[in-house]
Structure 1
Amino acid sequence: MPHSADYRASTHHQELGPDFYDVVRPAEFPQHILRYRNQRWAERVGLGSLTDEEWIDHLGRFAPLPGSFEQPLALRYHGHQFRTYNPHLGDGRGFLFAQLHDVQDSRLLDLATKGSGQTPWSRHADGRLTLKGGVREILATEMLEALGVETSKSFSLIETGEELERGDEPSPTRSSVLVRLSHSHIRIGTFQRLLYLDETDNLRKLLDYTIQTNMPEIWRDDEADRAAAFLEEVCRRVARMGAQWMAAGFVHGVLNTDNINVTGESFDYGPWRFLPVYEPGFTAAYFDETGLYAFGRQPDTLLWNLFRLAECLLPLAQQSSLEQALTTFEPALHREFPSAILRRLGLQSRGFEQDGALAKALWTFLHESKAPFEQTFFDWYGGLVSAHRAEQSPSANFYAQPSFQPVRAALESFAPAPQLQLDHPYFAGPTPCTMLIDEVEALWAPIAAEDDWSRFQAKLAEIRSMAEAYGAEKLIQS
């Protein structure tokens, strides 16, 4: 297998032992059609030189990558689903396929699957992923990455030639297998399972593994201090992720504890949506009948989930120290949200108070005016240096309203961020790249009807142009 000299594989997760996973066999698919290959991230992990056939062999047939797992690992976890505890979860249609290192910063990364077949945790499900579900995940991750959100990366999508029956889309529907790239697949639910089973030694082992692998800088020699420091760090990371979601107008849709990664990366995309306009009650999932995971409730929900993680650490630390660690979340959220807004606007920080005042003014305007959410950030990217461009915008009438004047006044204190690229072709047009639900359906329709992928490919090119214009790789830390 040709790979770059920087390719470094790992079996690190396997060191946790068989109490944490089940060795499984991938499904055998009747067909393998490569639909998406993330070449940019393939280069980052030393797999950029694979031919398409080699790519399919490893990421569709799951021939082991040299130096990584000989067989895939279906990970074990539990979780609260819509705040009801479920002890019957686990990787039911996916597995951890391989681990390897980022060429640029040497951090360990997971390659994990979605739709790769049944496992001991499938229950009565088929272990498959619809092609539409795979397309939607690619669109979500590409868009979020371009907007500077910490997210897993869609690495590969292969159509697999099966017909699937589903209740939430026209059936039979086409099948696929997705591979995602992320720094970890350790969830809050991974810790919850060990508390539920009263496996304190394994809880200790998972805590130490997670710190050593993903956040070695917080290591403490005392176990109780280590557990509290871990909870603080997870609170900070999850707060950053939540702030980035809010600034991006993103609604994840299913914020169960098994969908919250302790490294603070957004992942596991199902019924996600982007806001057309600011609406706190906007929900993504048709089955979220009470609005539990609505846009405006996402920060509170993340904190609720972090309380569940704190409960898992009670065997290792004092309740008082864990409660103190949980107080990290809200200040971190209040710090990260203005930072995320400033990044979205391409502005330099003026300090916490002024940054917060601008974020509050903009949020109030978006709420009161119902101006198009993404259009507003696009029009005012760079601050007042973009005033003339904003005056030509389809949203220009919104900016003439009294409700915008506090925003304009607040912008007077801010300078554009260094290396701003307002001359990028992305800013030459009147409207931004968006990913509203009607657009997603319009991208899928020609694929479903005529196997026409041209609109999908054009949208990916548009997103990449946006990512270049915003300097997205400089915004995200992952």
Structure 2
Amino acid sequence: MPSEPQPAPYLPDPRIETIAEWIGDPVAPAAFPRHQLRWHNRRWAAAVGLDGFDETRWVQHFGQFAPLPGNLPQPLALRYHGHQFRTYNPDLGDGRGFLFAQMRDAGGRLLDLGTKGSGQTPWSRDGDGRLTLKGAVREILATEMLEALGVDTSKTFSVVETGEELWRGDEPSPTRSAVLVRLSHGHIRIGSFQRLYALEEKAHLEALVAYCLETYPGSPPPPGAPGREEPAVILLHQVVERLADLAASWMVAGFVHGVLNTDNMNISGESFDYGPWRWLPRWDPRFTAAYFDHSGLYAFGRQPEALLWNCAQLAQALSMLVETAPLVAALDRFGPLYQQAMGRRFTARLGVESRGPEQDAALIQAAERAMVETGLAPEQFFFLHRAARNAGEDDFGTLLRLHAPTVAADDAFWRQDAPPGVLIDEVERIWAAIDQHDDWSELHAKVEAIRDLGRHLG
């Protein structure tokens, strides 16, 4: 999605109904004891024509989940399987969320409204189907920061506090509850394909490929690619392209998602489903976000590998429809595409020009060494050296000057002491103000600072 949403009329288009019979289950939202609006993303509400709601109507639709006009008559909890930390789990699905609505934006793209914490579904297993308010606040911060840094991410659309006390083993309890609505380009996961493959539902697998190609249009495979006319091969090429770029965008952002299971991987290539995320306090490929990731499987530096592995699981599912060789050829593009995206995104964040694969790679390597040596957090490092400012006489400074455009960053924004960031200590401080004093001012101030960063980064 573009960083600055464009206003649009409300254009409902619940296309998921064409595959709803086998992709999900109709469910009812939970009846919450209280509905207090805490977050209303007016920028993105305007992009889907929903900015005209007053608070009462907003809560009716995004807290009580009255159907939107012309949209899904009942929420749909999607079915999927997935590899969780490389172990296959067939007992997954939307356990505390559902797909609520679909509509078009100003560019004609189909967007979804999905939930988190909206109650139990047939896929809840032993879970209560709820979300903590702290989890919702953390998702606001993650999505706003990633959007500002140019990452293709879901948007936190709404947060309604729901008045229940929740007990969680990984945070002080009882804790406050909320229901969150996210806006994204889609909710079809790699795990959605894995489920159909495991159940040998070939006709449905073909139909899902067709749905995704129509819903998430992309570029065709490169000339000469084997099987480039096959729908399944076309889809895999598109997903490889999107996830290679997503991996690069996380690395350049200094972001650690934490849980890169195949049920957390969207076919649309968006970053979403935020749990134990972190931003790097310093450049460290071994840094992990999830306290339960004991082996470091999803450590910062292993994220590209994890996304390629997930693409391979999609290829495995698609092998029911086509020969293996063209799928392997699509997977082989991941590495070069990732390197291209790293060069493009790294130089863009530094505010300098790309000079081609070799010079860009040399600049990235020198920058990584410099970050390790200085111990600076990535956001501080990129801010300090924006548009080749403060380039020293070391290898990084020399390479940085070679990439510098003619105009340096001289706006007052770049003369601040430091840019906005969301390291864990600040996240905890923002939450403490809300939890202890019901003071939301720090959150709103942080979001405005983050959006200002996004405007200056362009």
Alignment TM class, shorter chain as reference: over 0.9
| 1:59 to partner: Cα distance | 0.6
| 1:215 to partner: Cα distance | 1.5
C-alpha distance 201-422 of structure 1, shift in aligned 2 (>3 A):
farther
- Structure 1 outlier segments of 4+, above 6 Å: none
Aligned equivalents of 1:417 and 1:115: distance in 2? 49
320, 342, 367: which one aligns with 2:347: 342
CA contact (8 A) 2:219 2:238 kept: no
| 1:349 to partner: Cα distance | 2.0
CA contact (8 A) 2:220 2:228 kept: no
Q: Which residue of 2 aligns with 1:411?
A: 400
Q: Which residue of 2 aligns with 1:430?
A: 417
In the TM superposition, 1:287-302 aligns within 5 A as 287-302=292-307
In the TM superposition, 1:19-418 aligns within 5 A as 19-103=22-106, 105-215=107-217, 217-218=219-220, 225-383=230-388, 386-387=389-390, 405-416=394-405
Aligned equivalents of 1:193 and 1:50: distance in 2? 38
Aligned equivalents of 1:153 and 1:43: distance in 2? 13
Structure 1 residues 147-185: Cα deviation after superposition (integer angstroms, max 9, x where no partner): 111101000001000111111111111000000010011
| 1:53 to partner: Cα distance | 1.3
Asked if 1:442 is matched to 2:429, the reply is yes
C-alpha distance 417-246 of structure 1, shift in aligned 2 (>3 A):
farther
The 3-state SS of whatever aligns with 2:102 is strand
Q: Which residue of 1 aligns with 2:451?
A: 464
- Whichever residue aligns with residue 174 of structure 1, its letter is R
Aligned equivalents of 2:456 and 2:93: distance in 1? 39
Aligned equivalents of 1:5 and 1:299: distance in 2? 35
- Whichever residue aligns with residue 297 of structure 1, its letter is R
Aligned equivalents of 2:75 and 2:67: distance in 1? 8
Aligned equivalents of 1:5 and 1:455: distance in 2? 31
| 1:47 to partner: Cα distance | 0.9
Aligned equivalents of 1:216 and 1:264: distance in 2? 11
Structure 1 residues 92-132: Cα deviation after superposition (integer angstroms, max 9, x where no partner): 000000001112x1100000000000100011211000000
CA contact (8 A) 1:422 1:469 kept: no
Give the alignment's TM-score, normalised by structure 2: 0.95
The 3-state SS of whatever aligns with 1:467 is helix
Q: Which residue of 1 aligns with 2:3?
A: none
| 1:435 to partner: Cα distance | 0.8
| 1:416 to partner: Cα distance | 3.3
CA contact (8 A) 2:14 2:102 kept: yes
Indicate the percent of aligned positions where both proteins have the same amino acid. Answer: 54
| 1:426 to partner: Cα distance | 2.7
Aligned equivalents of 1:224 and 1:196: distance in 2? 25
- Whichever residue aligns with residue 90 of structure 1, its letter is G
| 1:344 to partner: Cα distance | 0.7
CA contact (8 A) 2:379 2:419 kept: yes
- Whichever residue aligns with residue 445 of structure 1, its letter is A
Give the alignment's TM-score, normalised by structure 1: 0.91
Aligned equivalents of 1:170 and 1:200: distance in 2? 46
431, 434, 438: which one aligns with 1:451: 438
Structure 1 residues 294-330: Cα deviation after superposition (integer angstroms, max 9, x where no partner): 0011111111111111000111111111111110100
Structure 1 residues 128-150: Cα deviation after superposition (integer angstroms, max 9, x where no partner): 00000000000000000001111
Q: Which residue of 2 aligns with 1:15?
A: 18
| 1:18 to partner: Cα distance | 0.9
- Please provide the CA RMSD for this pair: 1.8
Aligned equivalents of 2:70 and 2:162: distance in 1? 26
- Whichever residue aligns with residue 115 of structure 2, its letter is T
The 3-state SS of whatever aligns with 1:9 is coil
| 1:217 to partner: Cα distance | 4.7
Aligned equivalents of 1:73 and 1:263: distance in 2? 19
- Whichever residue aligns with residue 311 of structure 1, its letter is Q
Deviates more, 1:60-69 or 1:346-355: 346-355
The 3-state SS of whatever aligns with 2:402 is coil
The 3-state SS of whatever aligns with 1:412 is helix
Aligned equivalents of 1:417 and 1:201: distance in 2? 56
- Whichever residue aligns with residue 288 of structure 1, its letter is D
Q: Which structure 1 segments of 5+ residues have no match?
A: 391-398, 472-478
C-alpha distance 169-417 of structure 1, shift in aligned 2 (>3 A):
farther
C-alpha distance 360-5 of structure 1, shift in aligned 2 (>3 A):
closer
Aligned equivalents of 2:249 and 2:144: distance in 1? 15
CA contact (8 A) 1:382 1:422 kept: no
| 1:195 to partner: Cα distance | 0.5
C-alpha distance 50-422 of structure 1, shift in aligned 2 (>3 A):
farther
Structure 1 residues 431-465: Cα deviation after superposition (integer angstroms, max 9, x where no partner): 11111111110110111111111111111111111
- Whichever residue aligns with residue 37 of structure 2, its letter is L
CA contact (8 A) 1:99 1:111 kept: yes
- Whichever residue aligns with residue 96 of structure 1, its letter is L
The 3-state SS of whatever aligns with 2:394 is helix
